[in-house]
Amino acid sequence: MRYQICVSGAASGDTVQASHQLAFDLGKAIALSGKTLITGATVGLPWYAAQGAFSVKGKRGISIGFSPASSFREHVTVYKLPTVEFDYINFTGMAYVGRDVHLVRSSDAVITVGGRMGSLHELATALESRKVCGVLLGSGGLADYIPTLLEHIEAPGSHDVIYDTDPSRLLDKVIAALDFKYRDFEHFDDDRQVSDRRSGRG
């Protein structure tokens, strides 16, 4: 399945400088896996993830940005956010807080890299929405505090959060968790094609 995997991370701050290569490698791995990368169409670590996906020649996956802006003009001139690295931008018109919720709710999984308060909002939304959650340990900021945070604050699905220090290995674990979550869909396309042929639609 072409899962939609969100990379959540800091738009600015120390973790951007320290962990931009990790975010790039994660975005590249998502594209190589044939999955859809979705981000907040913003700068910082999510942008590096989008650049990683964009760098894959003959991409198997695609990159979608969820913008806080209501139009391309507002995205570029008011929010001053990037455009080149995205196959498609969803202009939510919800500002940053509303955009975060829409972004997470549209994802199958959320992976936190670095991160500040905005990423904490996205993580909380993902946990409450029972999304598959991954955390790239060693990327600084919020990501490295999440194990301690969830040890002391009860949250839905906190025991199922996936941790790793390697972007590709973490992605493999997240995809495996999604495959398990959607195991009842394993033969959905095959069954539908058989049904279409029998009804003359295929």
The model's pLDDT over 135-181, given as tens digits with 9 standing for 90+, comes to 999 999 999 999 999 999 999 999 999 999 999 999 999 999 999 99
C-alpha 165, offset from chain centre: 17
pTM score: 0.91
Over the range 140-166, which residues count as b (16 or more CB within 10 Å of their CB) and which as e?
bbbbbebeeebeeeeeeeeeebbebeb
The model's pLDDT over 21-59, given as tens digits with 9 standing for 90+, comes to 999 999 999 999 999 999 999 999 999 999 999 999 776
Token pair recorded at residue 10: 């800091």
Domains and their CATH numbers in the chain: 4-199 (3.40.50.450)
